[in-house]
Amino acid sequence: MNAKEVLEYAKKNGVELVDLRFTDWPGQWQHCTYPISEIDEDTFEDGLGFDGSSIRGWQAINESDMLMVPAAETGFIDPFMKHSTLVLICNIEDPITREPYTRDPRWIARKAENHLKGLAFGDTAYFGPEAEFFLFQRAEDGSPTTVTHDRGAYFDLTPVDKGEDCRRSIVNALEKMGFEIEAAHHEVAPGQHEIDFKYDEAVTTADKIATFKLVVRKVALDFNLHATFMPKPIFNDNGSGMHLHQSIWRDGNPLFAGDGYGGLSKMAMYYIGGIMKHAKTLCAFTNPSTNSYKRLVPGYEAPVNLAYSNRNRSASLRIPVTDNPKSKRVEYRTPDPSCNGYLAFAAQLMAGLDGIENKIDPGEPLDKDIYGLSPEELNDIPSVAGTLDEALNCLEADHDFLLKGDVFTKDVIDMWISYKREAEVDAVRMRPCPEEFALYYDC
């Protein structure tokens, strides 16, 4: 839809309010609501002002004025609002220069897509996420708990799977908002679920991930539950990942299909090589919370080993089995849903493109069950970062591939490292936790 069409759509649907939304630095949606009378075609060019200094990791107070510029093609009706509300996802601009804001995550993802087109390797990057989440019971006062709502396991049915009605309601809400749902099921851990929607271009999929997470949380509340995408909320149970299926196309044709291992092309293999080479750095964006590394623990189910394999879910990079060239893709299993989709997708695309550009060989596939390998065998297999601090150190040392095409600027890299260290790494590192009291209070 263009600006005129989206306003006609709003009128046809009796829209009273317009909600302008954008994603902040860590990946949370921010918004401001306006009466429909305040929005006209000029709004889609001129934007609306807001205080950028109040957004985490963004502007200083002396240069706080910023613009939200709605992207007409993102419009949808929010089914949860009492008053009919049109949602528009925004790009952020500087009000003086009218240049896109370099720290706007959506702009970074848009630049990554443009960089792909400029290299002539392809014209479209598709991403298909599998974002897992937990449903927990609410306390009597409505506050969150870590008490799961059932004891279900992978693919369980009711009555063991007590989240089925909630899950189906999430699916219905998403379909009303234009999502094409592919599957929904109980996951491995008690109270853990997965709903998959169809892949799309990188920016569009990142838009959808932000919408998806909000819908899951809102529907959960209707069932007196709390939903969380925290990677590892429960000790000694499976954590939540966000496996990402990726492929590159050109002129409507898939470029990852070929006659190599797993039916992949040379381009796909080089893409895998780029992901593997920069995996520790990618963790700063794909696994950007201190809690991410409670999931990424060697010896458990989470994919920490940097190997690729056909069918093999113990490898960090899996090649799903399919005879359809259009379905040929690479699944990177390390990321988790605490990430900012725009930044995580952009970083992975840049790593993959670096692999293609420099013909990075990923080595031989590993078709064994990696979890069953001896310590000696595991010594030869590299792994992803073990802590957020390590990931940030790797990003500090290895980020030239992200700067290509001005996709990630030096300012963005420096600010991301600074923000994560100060707001998260240090905050957790210096704070005593309950287990430490149990271990050391009587020492």
CA atoms lying within 13 Å on the CB side of residue 208: 26
- The whole-model pTM stands at 0.95
Q: Give me the phi and psi of 89, to 5 degrees please.
A: -85, 140
Domain residue spans in the chain?
3-101, 111-435
What is the pLDDT at residue 379? 78
What is the pLDDT at residue 62? 72
What is the pLDDT at residue 430? 95
What is the pLDDT at residue 164? 93
Residue ranges in 259-409 assigned as alpha helix (H): 266-277, 279-286, 292-295, 341-357, 375-378, 388-397, 400-403
Rounded to the nearest angstrom, the gap between the alpha carbon of residue 383 and the centroid of all alpha carbons in its chain is 21
Catalytic residues: 51, 130, 132, 187, 194, 243, 313, 331, 333
For 321, the 3-state DSSP assignment is coil
Which residues of the chain fall below pLDDT 50?
none
Q: What share of the chain is helix, strand, coil (3-state, %, to 5)?
A: 40, 20, 40
Intrachain domains 3-101 and 111-435 with the same fold: no
What is the pLDDT at residue 417? 97
What is the pLDDT at residue 21? 97
What is the pLDDT at residue 17? 97
The CATH homologous superfamily for domain 3-101 is Glutamine synthetase, N-terminal domain (3.10.20.70)
Give the fold, CATH level 3, of 111-435.
Creatine Kinase; Chain A, domain 2 (3.30.590)
What is the pLDDT at residue 310? 87
Burial class (CB in 10 A: 0-12, 13-18, 19+), 367: middle
Rounded to the nearest angstrom, the gap between the alpha carbon of residue 325 and the centroid of all alpha carbons in its chain is 25
